[in-house]
Amino acid sequence: MKQRTLAIIKPDAVAKGVAGKIMARIEEGGFTILAAKLIHMTDAQARGFYIVHKDKPFYASLCSFMTQGPCIPMVLEGDNAIARWRDLMGATNPANAAAGTIRKDFASSIEANAVHGSDAPETAAFEIPYFFASLEIHPR
């Protein structure tokens, strides 16, 4: 089933200069990038995006990390894209991430973990329009 998911190359990965390598893995993984842009989030934008985590102890630190530099949100499309992108990302904590995953190879810590991916269709339905208007998404 063709599905869309929201991916972000997080500020740590952009700062390290591995955004291109991560995009190559996305394309080699059979995803189509329907939308992408480089943005530098404000604190309010990061807090809104991660509102689901507002009661977690790491919320403030996470929002600060996500605003430390530019990041690259993207809309990915492919068969079973939500689960497949999370598989390619690897576990939240890179110490637990499987060999060959993006987080295993590029993450620095459980917080600075290189990439984001929607975790369910309802989440993608919130996250994709958080960053992209319909006219910025290019179906093909």
Q: Is 18 in the site for ligand ADP (CB under 6 A)?
A: no
CA dist., res. 30 & res. 130, Å (int): 24
CA dist., res. 76 & res. 81, Å (int): 7
Q: Is 116 a catalytic residue?
A: yes
Could you tell which of Mg ion, ligand ADP, none binds residue 77, using a CB distance below 5 to 8 A set by kind? none
* Residue nearest Mg ion by beta-carbon distance: 119
Q: Is 68 in the site for ligand ADP (CB under 6 A)?
A: no
Could you tell which of Mg ion, ligand ADP, none binds residue 105, using a CB distance below 5 to 8 A set by kind? none
Indicate the SS3 state at residue 77. strand
Q: Kindly tell me the burial class for residue 133, based on how many C-beta atoms sit within 10 Å of its own C-beta (0-12, 13-18, 19 or more).
A: exposed
Q: Is 124 in the site for ligand ADP (CB under 6 A)?
A: no
Instruction: Judge whether 62 and 10 are in contact, CB under 8 Å.
Output: no
- Which residue of 29, 110, 126, 137 would you call a contact of ligand ADP, by CB under 6 A? 110
Within residues 77-136, the interface with Mg ion by CB under 5 A covers: 119
Could you tell which of Mg ion, ligand ADP, none binds residue 130, using a CB distance below 5 to 8 A set by kind? none
CA dist., res. 134 & res. 106, Å (int): 31
Contacts of 97 (CB under 8 A, 6+ apart): 90, 91, 103, 104, 107
Q: Which of 40, 53, 116, 138 is catalytic?
A: 116
Nearer to ligand ADP, 120 or 139 (CB): 120
Binding site for Mg ion (CB under 5 A): 119
List active site positions: 116
